[in-house]
């Protein structure tokens, strides 16, 4: 299993001013950095690829859909814009030499919904992601569906729902991305959800229940690592915690969750490596 860190541990928006985070991630002994694609206008793929190659670090990317890119919208123009945005993110992922792009890419993040999603909303999501997945397949990119909690989406809250959407899409480069912070709210069992994702699991967010330092809260890490060991998980796992509020998506960080990003990473990574060793994954 490769261990990495989400760039939001240090910054609220990616740009060339944050390229040094690639060096910092490498110097802290990580295998990869997760780069947010929320603002593609400030994403310089050529500069990112060059820096990644210089320091010898891997990368994955992620994003969320907003109101004007919601592929479950009743407005066909918004759905079309959402698909084009997903394709642009896939292209950016490919352009930096990465193979995995994921996130809340199936419906608007924090959609102001007043009722449960309709079958039409599910179909819109599947249709949009199918088009994006076929484009991604040509570039050798996987797309990961990340279930998040009920306060952040009304569509995909659990691994079972993610697998349902994957089946509706019907493309083999659609994968599953689990996140322990959201699982803590929505799943009955970390172990069962991880086992269900199985061979389709391509990315894992290792978060404490408060998004603080892993190992300092309520998450059942033994169940998680027992499951990861049983499925022989060899893909990426990122520590994801946000150090501040942003103006491009809601992070709800109203207090200091760790002294700083470096401390979160060092202590969190030490804990994760101890769990890997405990379950024979090191």
What are the backbone angles phi and psi of residue 205, rounded to the nearest 5°? Answer: -95, 120
Q: Hey, which residues are catalytic here?
A: 146, 240
Among residues 11, 74, 56, the alpha carbon closest in space to that of 38 is found at: 11
Cα 27 to Cα 4, 18, 98, 168, 178: the distances in Å are 12, 15, 20, 42, 26
Helix spans in the chain (H): 20-27, 45-55, 76-95, 119-138, 159-169, 180-186, 190-197, 221-230, 261-278
- Enumerate the β-bridge partners of residue 103: 63, 145
Q: How far apart are CA 79 and CA 168, in angstroms?
A: 17
C-alpha distances in Å from residue 278, one per residue of 34, 91, 234, 236, 271: 26, 38, 16, 19, 11
Q: Beta-carbon neighbour count of residue 44 at 10 Å?
A: 17
Length of the chain: 282
Question: What is the DSSP secondary structure assignment for residue 209, as one 8-state letter?
Answer: T
Residue with tokens 């990495």: 4
Q: CA 8 to CA 251: how far, in whole Å? A: 10
Three-state DSSP state, 167? helix
């Amino acid at each position: 299993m490769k261990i990495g860190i989400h760039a939001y541990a240090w910054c609220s928006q990616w740009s060339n001013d944050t390229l040094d985070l690639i060096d910092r991630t490498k110097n802290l002994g990580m295998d990869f950095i997760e780069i947010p694609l929320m603002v593609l206008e400030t994403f310089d793929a050529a500069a990112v690829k060059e820096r990644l190659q210089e320091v010898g670090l891997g990368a994955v990317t992620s994003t969320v859909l907003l109101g004007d890119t919601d592929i479950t919208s009743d407005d066909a123009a918004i759905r079309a814009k959402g698909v084009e945005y997903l394709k642009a993110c896939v292209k950016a992922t490919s352009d930096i030499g990465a193979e995995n792009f994921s996130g809340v890419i199936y419906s608007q993040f924090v959609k102001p919904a007043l009722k449960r999603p309709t079958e039409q909303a599910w179909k819109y999501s599947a249709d949009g992601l199918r088009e994006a997945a076929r484009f991604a397949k040509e570039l050798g990119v996987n797309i990961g569906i990340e279930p998040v909690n009920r306060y952040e989406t009304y569509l995909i809250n659990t691994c079972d729902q993610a697998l349902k959407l994957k089946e509706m899409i019907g493309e083999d480069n659609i994968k599953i991305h689990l996140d322990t912070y959201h699982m803590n709210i929505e799943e009955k069992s970390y172990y069962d959800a991880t086992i269900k994702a199985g061979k389709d699991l391509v990315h894992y967010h290792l978060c404490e229940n408060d998004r603080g330092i892993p190992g300092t809260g309520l998450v059942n890490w033994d169940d998680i690592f027992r499951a990861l060991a049983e499925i022989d998980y060899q893909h990426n796992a990122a520590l994801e915690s946000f150090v501040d509020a942003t103006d491009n998506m809601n992070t709800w960080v109203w207090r200091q969750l760790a002294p700083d990003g470096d401390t979160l990473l060092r202590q969190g990574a030490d804990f994760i490596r101890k769990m890997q060793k405990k379950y024979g994954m090191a």
